Amino acid sequence: MESRAKVTPFVVLDDIGVRSATDAFRADLHSIVNYRTANGLPTVYTSNVAIGDLNTVFDARLADRVRDMCAVVPFVGRSKRGLRKTQ
């Protein structure tokens, strides 16, 4: 999975700050982010953690690497999870 995430022309990494990260997860994510940044590949990150607070989930180095090439697009509103009716 990691090798595909590195070379795919466009990737969305969803909920990157959703939980505390293990050392193995941080290493894998750093490898992906570093490769994509170095090769100019577009990447979209989504998170409920503000970009300035990513260092609370990841180490400062990885948080800085993610922040380095990002433009922040805030989404506002209330969660709709669990509100959909099934048919």
Does position 30 have pLDDT exceeding 60, yes or no? yes
Domains identified in the chain, total number:
1
Q: Give per-residue burial for 5-23: e unless 16+ CB within 10 Å, then b.
A: bbeeeebebeebbeeebee
pTM of the model: 0.76
Whole-number Cα distances in Å, 36 to 12, 39, 48, 68, 86: 12, 5, 22, 12, 38
For residue 25, the enclosing domain spans 2-68
- CATH number at 14 reads 3.40.50.300
Does position 46 have pLDDT exceeding 70, yes or no? yes
Does position 87 have pLDDT exceeding 70, yes or no? no
- What gap in Å lies between CA 8 and CA 61, rounded to an integer? 23
